[in-house]
Chains A and B, each alone.
Chain A
């Protein structure tokens, strides 16, 4: 209930803000002089007339650039975004010499179409800023106040508007290299972009929800059973990878921190080596170590413990267990470092008084150490879990998702996570549409888990009562 109220309140506020905006734009027009009115059409005109040259020239330049962009580039792509192109590029063989006839390219139309939509939205926003500035000029003049000069504007960028200066570059980077590509790929999920539809020779087009239906369809042609198989393993893997590392790492930290244990630094350094040495080296070495002709099998054979080599990577169950074990090898040092830091923050007198009350080590761990750790590292556990859902390196460098099986579609294997499957669909099968759908599913899974756990986290916080 509360949530719904909040939502409707938000919507109401949004609507009333838009209403206010429109009213203000109207007021600027009706109450403004001819300079302000002309600014609606020629951006920066009002500013220029009031000697705010820097602002005026910038706005004017933006408008000119925008028009140039739309005419020369943007409009043609925007107009085709509904169909994603109708005419494929083909070779006309009717003449004596074959001629390549260039047509549309769905990929370009979609990408540049999205880019153009962004440019248009940005332009509308800047136009709105322009109008507001004109309104501001009118108000200030009416009140007999001073208008900021270009020099003052520039100075504000290192003072009261310093955050804008700082955030400009990171924001542009995220927009171009994260936001636009993500929107592009979300769109791909609703098209038939795959190996058979590779523009420019074969265009792709909008297909609606077909790919999503395909992902959930359990028939022999559908991705359904494979998807749920991979999803289940992804969740199980992330669970073990997170919690085993968490508790074992904490345990090791407690062991090393124990009173009377010498060479604390040495033990830590040995473990920390795993973090320092680039993962691809240690993982590939491990992969070879457990190979059929690897060291482990060879020594086991020599010692006479086994008669034939153990197919560690070819057997789905062995491979899964081994991956989790190797991940412990990787994860413990990291958790150990962190736990060491946090354990030192637990007030010593808590343990002292517990000892006087006759608590043993295990009881102290359960009543003092664990609740404290869980409280402090709750958010870390969450990010660690979602991080493990997408732990590409460990899986891909060890098994590449193998062993594969005839009963799994889309080239998936029994140790594939959603993320490695997505990668394989992209690289090996060029099945971009299913890869895109899968990417959206990864997002959904991550988002749902994050939301649910965040709801639970405050209950973890309540346990702080002992402090």
Chain B
């Protein structure tokens, strides 16, 4: 008897606490989704019949594609900016992954003189704020004509050149691949390069995807250095620089809804890609946290 009432009270207790949990989760979902829903809704507000700037309501009076047509029209370089960003993201994803893999494999698989020193040295270098060296990097790039008109290859170069320093997560993953695999291959007479390519590389697929994914997404948000290197040369902007300028300086001309439309177009492919590869991302994030 007593036991029965206890289970009943416990199940009631569970129901109540689950109910509260659902309420919390639903409220959270609303808060988390609100900005994105607002972004999409406002991107459909008509520029011609309503207004492109700030208004006091969220749902447009009439839905129109005005803002999207503007983005693809002659007077706007949105397509250009989009291609710029895509180019940067594409090359950075490939080259960064290559660099990170090189460093990770060397540090994970080989024991050589100066290995500890190299890791500590890079750790200390990482403590300097990145923007400190901005003017120096700008000058270096300028020497090779890689600013303004040449900003796109310049940005790729700067990003890729130092990407070897972000090896932590990848090396941590490679460390978990048993060394016995290398040993047995070495007994069979395989060189280190062969071991790397035929044994480690296939096993490292999840972390390769993680590295490439994070490297691909980063350029879409790169505002600081991109705006500095492309300074005053509109054709070299990436989407982040261009759309940020719309919000900050052209807002009074009603560019706000155009920003929303551009934002939607940028967000869609990146989000789809991310969602498809989410599994690998979670793996990398969790692994990276545990390894530190």
Contacts and interface: CB of A to CB of B under 8 A. Distances in A.
Contacts of B165: 170, 174, 178
A276 B270 contact: yes
Contacts of A252: 28
A167 B127 contact: no
Contacts of A383: 292
Contact of A270 (B21, B29, B160): B29
Interface in B271-287: 271, 274-275, 278, 281-283, 285-286
Interface stretch (A127-135, A209-217, A422-430): A422-430
Interface in A108-152: 111
A88 interface: no
B192 A162 contact: yes
Contacts of B35: 282, 285-286, 289
A176 B158 CA distance: 10
Contacts of B194: 158
A458 interface: no
Interface in A246-281: 252, 255-256, 258, 260-261, 267, 269-281
A159 B191 contact: yes
Interface string A167-206: 1011101101111111011000000000000000000000
A401 B191 CA distance: 54
Interface string A309-349: 00000000000000000000100011001101110000000
Among A111, A178, A289, A340, the most chain B Cβ lie within 10 Å of the Cβ of A178
Contact of A173 (B21, B28, B99, B134): B99
Contacts of A274: 32
A423 B225 CA distance: 10
Range of interface residues on chain B?
35 or more
B128 A278 contact: no
A260 B29 contact: no
B286 A179 contact: no
A111 B56 contact: no
A280 B223 contact: yes
Interface stretch (B68-76, B100-108, B204-212): B100-108
B32 A270 contact: yes
B44 interface: no
A177 B139 contact: no
A182 B271 contact: no
B173 interface: no
A207 interface: no
Contacts of B32: 270-271, 273-274, 329, 333
Contact of B243 (A270, A280, A447): A280
Nearest to A261: B21
B140 interface: yes
A446 B129 CA distance: 9
Residue among B132, B135, B193, B260 with max Cβ neighbours from chain A (10 Å): B132
A380 B244 contact: no
A267 to B, nearest CB: 5
Contacts of B133: 177-178, 181-182, 184-185
B58 interface: yes
A173 B164 contact: yes
B129 to A, nearest CB: 5
Given A173-B162, A338-B289, A277 B191 contact: no
B38 to A, nearest CB: 7
Interface string B36-51: 1011000000000000
A284 B193 contact: no
A88 B256 CA distance: 47
Interface stretch (A3-11, A36-44, A435-443): A435-443
Given A392-B224, A426-B135, A177 B161 contact: yes
A281 B192 contact: no
A298 B57 contact: yes
Given A177-B161, A288-B54, A276 B128 contact: no
A63 B228 CA distance: 38
A156 B165 CA distance: 25
A447 B39 contact: no
A177 B137 contact: yes
Interface in B84-129: 99, 102-103, 105-106, 109-110, 112, 118, 122, 124-125, 127-129
B18 to A, nearest CB: 5
A235 to B, nearest CB: 15
24 contacts: A162-B193, A170-B102, A177-B158, A179-B125, A184-B136, A255-B25, A267-B29, A270-B32, A271-B32, A281-B39, A282-B35, A284-B243, A286-B35, A298-B57, A341-B286, A341-B289, A342-B290, A376-B289, A378-B292, A386-B127, A393-B223, A397-B244, A419-B129, A439-B131
Given A261-B18, A298-B57, 15 more contacts: A158-B192, A166-B102, A170-B103, A173-B99, A177-B161, A178-B161, A261-B21, A277-B267, A280-B221, A329-B31, A379-B292, A380-B292, A422-B129, A442-B128, A442-B129
Q: What 3 A-B pairs come out closest when comparing CB atoms? A: A379-B292, A170-B164, A341-B286
Interface of B: 14, 18, 21-22, 24-25, 28-29, 31-33, 35-36, 38-39, 54, 56-58, 99, 102-103, 105-106, 109-110, 112, 118, 122, 124-125, 127-137, 139-140, 157-158, 160-165, 191-194, 196, 217, 220-221, 223-224, 228, 240, 243-244, 247, 256, 259-260, 263, 266-267, 270-271, 274-275, 278, 281-283, 285-286, 288-292
Interface of A: 107, 111, 155, 158-160, 162-167, 169-171, 173-174, 176-182, 184-185, 252, 255-256, 258, 260-261, 267, 269-282, 284-289, 291, 293-295, 298-299, 301-302, 329, 333-334, 337-338, 340-342, 376-380, 382-383, 386, 390, 392-393, 396-397, 418-419, 422-423, 426-427, 432, 435-436, 439, 442-443, 446-447, 450
